[in-house]
Amino acid sequence: MPESGPLLDDAVLRAAAQVIAAHGWHDFTLERVAQAAGVSRVTLYRRGVTREVLVDALTVGAAQAWQAALWPALTGEGTAAQRLEAALRACCEVVEEHLALLAGLSSAPDPVFHLDEPTTGEGRDTRAVYVRPFERLLRDGMAEGAIRPEIDPDETATLLFNIVPRTYLHLRSAHGWDAEHTTTALLGLLLPGLLARAPHPADSPHPEGA
């Protein structure tokens, strides 16, 4: 076994993503990765590359792409409600950018891109990367009065992360919906349940004698 950590380069990571996209999780083998990368299986072994190492590296890449996509919504101009909508749209966009890879990984045993149970210090736990941006925007919106005050921001952020990427991926890859329609339908369903209801004119007290 090598004394240092695994040696990965961009060509091997691209090859791994291509193999998963083309063959799915169950047929994701180092032999196929080596062939796609133009190296031998022995070379990958000597570099300490395993299936788990490749998935971990792709997980880190997914987390970085997620952070980059949602950062403008966290730091940009606009109300919290507007920035929450922008974040949800960015979520759909980053899934679209990695659609083939994520579709290939959809048959992988959980967890792949986040853990459902707390980590013990080993392995990957990227939940905070995915969930906290939504939690922050929800709390900002509640402070502004734009988000329903009775929701639990931590629980709702977790729900959003689990609903939006997975539903978007399924509708795009399994049902063949186009990207814009999928995004519009998802946001149209979710946002009304999050936003505080604006007062209706009929709810306002009428002046005496009106």
Q: Please check whether residues 12 and 93 belong to one and the same domain.
A: no
CATH number of domain containing 161: 1.10.357.10
Both 44 and 93 in one domain: the answer is no
Does 202 reside within a domain? no
Distance, CA of 126 to CA of 116 (rounded, Å): 10
Query: Does residue 4 belong to any structural domain of this protein?
Result: yes
29, 130: one domain: no
pTM here is 0.81
pLDDT at 82: 97
Decide if 206 is inside a domain.
no
Cα separation, 22 vs 85, whole angstroms: 32
Task: Kindly tell me the number of DSSP H helices and DSSP E strands found in the chain.
Answer: 9, 0
Answer whether residue 209 is part of any domain. Answer: no
Q: Tokens 């999928």: give the residue.
A: 182
Residues 95 and 139 occupy one common structural domain:
yes
pLDDT at 210: 46
For the chain, where are the E strands, in sequence order?
none
Give the pLDDT confidence score for residue 202 in this predicted structure: 56
pLDDT of residue 63: 82
State the first-to-last Cα distance of the chain, in angstroms, to the nearest integer: 86
Number of domains composing the chain: 2
Residue 2 belongs to a domain with what CATH number? Answer: 1.10.10.60
* Interacting residues of 63 by C-beta distance below 8 A, sequence separation 6+: 113, 126, 129, 130
> What is the pLDDT at residue 40?
95
Distances, alpha carbon 29 to alpha carbons 15, 121, 186, in Å: 11, 27, 35
Predicted local distance difference test score (pLDDT) of residue 4: 64
Query: What's the confidence (pLDDT) of residue 6?
Result: 83
Find tokens 């395993």 and name the residue. 50
**Domain extent at residue 18:** 1-49
Q: Could you tell me if 74 and 19 lie in one domain?
A: no
108 and 124 together in one domain: yes
Distance CA 139, CA 194 (A): 12
Q: Is residue 155 part of a domain?
A: yes
Residues 12 and 92 in one domain: no
- 205 within some domain: no
Sign of torsion over alpha carbons 27, 30, 32, 36: positive
DSSP letter, residue 108? S
Based on the fold, state whether residues 22 and 41 are members of the same structural domain: yes
One domain, residues 11 and 105 = no
Residues of the chain with pLDDT under 50: 1-2, 111, 115-125, 210
Residue 40 maps to a domain: yes
Q: Note whether residue 125 is domain-resident.
A: yes
